[in-house]
Structure 1
Amino acid sequence: MNVNQSPRVLIVEDEPSIADNILYSLESEGFVAKVVGTGAEALRVMVDEDFSLLILDVGLPDMSGFEVCRKLQGLSDVPVIFLTARNTEVDRVVGLEIGGDDYLCKPFSPRELTARVRAVLRRYNGNGKARVDGVELSEGALVVKPVEVDEGRCLIRYFGSALPLSAYEFRLLKTMAKHPGRVYSRSQLMECASDEPDAAMERTVDAHVKSLRAKMKAVKEGVEPIVTHRGLGYSLAEVWEG
């Protein structure tokens, strides 16, 4: 994609009213958008045209959005935002695990979707390739310098120092470390970090993030490891200094 061109977004949504609202919102913000209503159409269009991002409904009439995403693997590395009418942990986890970059549950605000589109695109360069800040290692270890997650030992090191974390804090930081720069909403973080997400409160996430920041600051001051995105949620920093 030419960096001087507006990002092109493919919307795969079979409900015309929802598709029209997304289209209007994106075009109002300067994006170039196209709508298709089935998974088969999406696959054909993705082969023939270049897009910066894919907004993909999970509940399509011919195949699930998850199946579309799987079929695209190896053909395209365009980032994907899932839309789902089912507010379940299974859908959310599956969507992220098969390569989705974000998801939104219906009903949602078109303004929030547009903000998430911008956030995802900021993490990608002009040719759609993700900037890789972490690499999967053997035996369940994930390294995102200067954060090192050792899942086997339930241990996270920060600038080489082991952090004294609660189970909730470990899962919270591990989740963000998997995708530096990805913005996680409070509800997403609750699903990933809490043993009983339905009973958790969004303020609980704020409290644990505050605690994480304090423990990380005790290791190294002058660094902001966790970024707050107003109205959206939190992410692990992509750029590290010091």
Structure 2
Amino acid sequence: MTATIALIDDDRNILTSVGIALQAEGFTTRLYTDGESALKALIDNPPDLAVSDIKMPRLDGLEMLRRLREKSSLPVIFLTSKDDELDEALGLALGADDYIAKPFSQRLLIARIRAILRRVELSKVDPGEPSGEVPDPVVRGRLELDPARHRVHWAGSSVTLTVTEFMILEALAQRPDVVKSRSQLMDVAYQDDTYVDDRTIDSHIKRLRRKFRAVDPQFDAIETLYGAGYRFSDG
């Protein structure tokens, strides 16, 4: 069945270009130019996923998401200004599923949409029913990582990650004590030919550590090997 994506942005050029790209990939789109009209539609006639700008007239994306989360767990991807960590942090705290900084690659956005929709579908699978399509959970010491349901726990405490952060952590945890270069992690997190520099991966690692240290101030399982990359070690 065709997935329906709501696009919310006061920039009509972005709405048009992204809408065309999504339709070319087989998605149905609904377009909104402000958070207030979008909120009513998301609640009354929910799509499968929403992609929203944060800074908009009438009702900004953060307040829209706060009100939406009172009634719905609809997946939401935020479009943010480059390096605006405050918006990102607030969005994730309110329950956003991922964020992508402007300017962005449409192929990257489509890949993130597909990844989130797949996790939503897998989360509906009864764990008692065997299925070769459902990846097994990864347990490494105090880390419990469930790829199918996009859930992460550290020493029993839940840690909320974006799709990109989850992919990087999963790549590290799959082979503990093995060093992954920044280039290898970029290949995992950005599975298209969008150029990202080393600092992008460093920023994701920094956010990962910050989130884990919020539940465990002594967290040190993601190690930096200067000149080589990163590795996961919890032993």
Partner residue, 1:49: 45
Partner residue, 2:88: 92
Q: Are the aligned partners of 1:85 and 1:106 in contact in 2 as well (CA < 8 Å)? A: yes
Q: What TM-score does the superposition give when structure 1 sets the normalisation length?
A: 0.59
Partner residue, 1:165: none
Tell me the distance in 1 between the aligned counterparts of 2:12 and 2:227.
36
* Alpha-carbon shift at residue 53 of structure 1 (Å): 0.2
Question: Is structure 2 residue 137 aligned with structure 1 residue 124?
Answer: no
* Alpha-carbon shift at residue 207 of structure 1 (Å): 1.6
Question: Is structure 2 residue 171 aligned with structure 1 residue 190?
Answer: no
Question: Is structure 2 residue 71 aligned with structure 1 residue 82?
Answer: no
Q: What TM-score does the superposition give when structure 2 sets the normalisation length?
A: 0.61
- In structure 2, stretches of 5+ residues that fail to align are 128-136, 146-152, 166-188, 190-200, 211-224
SS of match in other structure, 2:163: coil
Partner residue, 1:207: 229
- In structure 1, stretches of 5+ residues that fail to align are 134-143, 149-155, 160-172, 196-202, 220-242
Question: Is structure 2 residue 139 aligned with structure 1 residue 146?
Answer: yes
Percent of aligned positions with the same letter in both sequences?
Answer: 27
For 1:30, which of 26, 44, 60 is the aligned residue? 26
Aligned length: 170
Q: Are the aligned partners of 2:6 and 2:29 in contact in 1 as well (CA < 8 Å)? A: yes
For 1:66, which of 62, 69, 75 is the aligned residue? 62
Q: Compared with structure 1, are the counterparts of its residues 147 and 91 closer, same or farther at alpha carbon in structure 2 (3 Å cutoff)? A: farther
Counterpart code for 2:100: L
| CA RMSD across the alignment | 3.6
Per-residue displacement from partner, 1:31-69 (whole Å, max 9, x unpaired)? 111100011111121122131101011011112201000
Partner residue, 1:136: none
Matches within 5 A, 1:99-118: 99-118=95-114
Per-residue displacement from partner, 1:126-178 (whole Å, max 9, x unpaired)? 8xx778x9xxxxxxxxxx87356xxxxxxx3579xxxxxxxxxxxxx96xx72
Q: Are the aligned partners of 1:123 and 1:182 in contact in 2 as well (CA < 8 Å)? A: no
Q: Which runs of 4+ in 1 moved over 6 A?
A: 203-206
Q: Are the aligned partners of 1:89 and 1:191 in contact in 2 as well (CA < 8 Å)? A: no
* Alpha-carbon shift at residue 192 of structure 1 (Å): 0.7
Tell me the distance in 2 between the aligned counterparts of 1:53 and 1:205.
39
SS of match in other structure, 1:124: helix
* Alpha-carbon shift at residue 180 of structure 1 (Å): 7.4
SS of match in other structure, 1:146: strand
SS of match in other structure, 2:164: coil
